[in-house]
Amino acid sequence: MSNIRCKCGFVISDVSAPCPMKWRLTADDKWEDIVEGIVSIAKGKQDLARAYFLFASESLEVLKCPECSRLLIFEDGQHATFYVKE
């Protein structure tokens, strides 16, 4: 992903890293496994990229529009579902 147009018209770019508009959404029942996996990776002094991959693979990518605060959730990893604050 690089640029996506929000329903308000604002173009969200997630090319910077870290991206202040990019969030991660994780189910509570996956959180413990993620933390244990990251701790295990850290103890083994393994590649930090594996920890990032583990967290990314167990969470959904979310973009928050800075103009309208809509959340764009990528449940299938490719297509955004838009959520607006009520």
Note the residues at the interface with Zn ion (CB under 5 A): 6, 8, 10, 65, 67-68, 70
Output 6 or 41, the one with its CB closest to Zn ion. Answer: 6
Task: Kindly report the number of other CB atoms within 10 A of residue 24's CB atom.
Answer: 12
**DSSP 8-state secondary structure symbol assigned to residue 83:** E
Q: How far apart are CA 5 and CA 22, in angstroms?
A: 14
Q: What's the min distance (Å) between Cβ of 33 and Zn ion?
A: 33
Instruction: Closer to Zn ion by CB, 10 or 23: give it.
Output: 10
In the complex with Zn ion, which residue's Cβ is closer, 10 or 55?
10
Give CA–CA dist 56/46, Å, rounded.
17
